Structure 1
């Protein structure tokens, strides 16, 4: 059975992983007959947002503990992820990626990436193992794969411009489609960068998971 490492950045799209994207990812991995293990860095969240009012609550929360809400408790610290134990890597999106995995939300193209996240991403690259990144998560890719990496976040001009400034090659893409960089066995899809319904997100995420597992 193929096994996928899934990286979560919390729980809730304003300050963590986009929950629909995460659940759809796990669903499609299972429907493809593969297994998965969720991981998250054991670090403080950048902020905690009231999802009704979109306001900072001032609460202090932990990315690993919050990610456990999605993973039904079965989540491991990112420090325990061994690339050799997995066939592929997938990252759902959500603002947690742009706040907890990196600081893109505050610094844009001048962003830096969490050391553990960067090491794991590069580990899968160096092992020539496929990976899938969705929603805002592709902003990490120029740091992981280097200049010229092909990717999409949909058609957001500001984010695409930042990606280009960091050396990535952004390709506009519809919500139900994927972009594949065959050189790196890398798949991206816009998900909730464009999705207006769960069905929109489901279509692209399903394509991404199927392609990643095919390449694995």
Structure 2
């Protein structure tokens, strides 16, 4: 599936919210560890990748024995945010690949070189950078956009007093023809038909360990889908 569509995923949509994770699976040999691409969008939730999510993904992939290659677009960031103030730093300019290299400890490749045939799955951590630097949507909505009828989760569909501040995203998924599945932050949803795995992550206001556990559930199911 991904082998024919993967390169287009990063230019498909237009807006985003932080804290969503999605993984898309493609077929591969069963005689080696799962090969997983992790696509970063900078470093920092407000203008790049959500760092806690990226770190949790890498921990769970390592524990699962996967071979990981990180990628990022080699382009200027849309803008730079001062995370201590939550405001744009008007005089600053940064490169998405260079900033992503902070998370990757330097081991990163330009997104232009990602070839779907070389990977069994690709994971997109959340963060506003996925919108601002990929020019695409939060990952589950991206799946709903490019895969007709895809089943995804962004958690709950009501804000519930601020616990789910981005709950309105579920409506966008439905408008695109996708199916939204209500899940808790520690859970992941598996669309077995389209081979898409999603988890809410920072869409929920909760303790960090709950988000870590949800990411673990997602990674576990991604590796299960690869058959490795």
- Name the TM-score, length of structure 1 as normaliser: 0.81
Whether 1:204 aligns to 2:211 is no
Counterpart for residue 31 of structure 1: 63
Deviation, structure 1 residue 195:
4.7
- Consecutive unaligned residues in structure 2, runs of 5 or more: 1-32, 157-165
Q: Which residue of 88, 96, 100 corresponds with 1:56?
A: 88
Number of residue pairs the alignment of both structures matches:
184
Deviation, structure 1 residue 182:
0.7
Matches within 5 A, 1:176-187: 176-187=186-197
Q: Which has the higher helix share?
A: 1
- The CA deviation string for residues 82-113 of structure 1, in whole angstroms up to 9 with x for no partner, is 11111111111011112222255xxxxxxxxx
Q: Which residue of 125, 147, 167 corresponds with 1:145?
A: 147
| Alpha-carbon distance between aligned partners in 2 of 1:143 and 1:77, rounded to the nearest angstrom | 24
| Alpha-carbon distance between aligned partners in 1 of 2:49 and 2:98, rounded to the nearest angstrom | 12
Counterpart for residue 35 of structure 2: 3
- The CA deviation string for residues 46-105 of structure 1, in whole angstroms up to 9 with x for no partner, is 12111111000022111111100100011100111111111111111011112222255x
| Alpha-carbon distance between aligned partners in 2 of 1:163 and 1:198, rounded to the nearest angstrom | 25
Counterpart for residue 113 of structure 2: 80
Q: Which residue of 102, 121, 146 corresponds with 1:69?
A: 102
CA contact (8 A) 1:176 1:201 kept: yes
CA gap of 1:48–1:164, structure 2 versus 1, over 3 A, is: same
Answer with 1 or 2: which has the greater Rg. Answer: 2
| Alpha-carbon distance between aligned partners in 1 of 2:193 and 2:66, rounded to the nearest angstrom | 24
| Alpha-carbon distance between aligned partners in 1 of 2:106 and 2:133, rounded to the nearest angstrom | 20
Larger RCO (alpha carbons 8 Å, 6+ apart): 2
CA gap of 1:202–1:195, structure 2 versus 1, over 3 A, is: farther
- Name the TM-score, length of structure 2 as normaliser: 0.77
CA contact (8 A) 1:98 1:137 kept: no
- Consecutive unaligned residues in structure 1, runs of 5 or more: 105-135
Deviation, structure 1 residue 196:
2.2
Structure 1's consecutive aligned runs of 4 or more residues displaced over 4 angstroms after TM superposition are: none
**Corresponding residue SS for 2:223:** helix
**Corresponding residue SS for 2:133:** helix
| Alpha-carbon distance between aligned partners in 2 of 1:103 and 1:90, rounded to the nearest angstrom | 14
**Corresponding residue SS for 2:68:** strand
| Alpha-carbon distance between aligned partners in 1 of 2:202 and 2:177, rounded to the nearest angstrom | 23
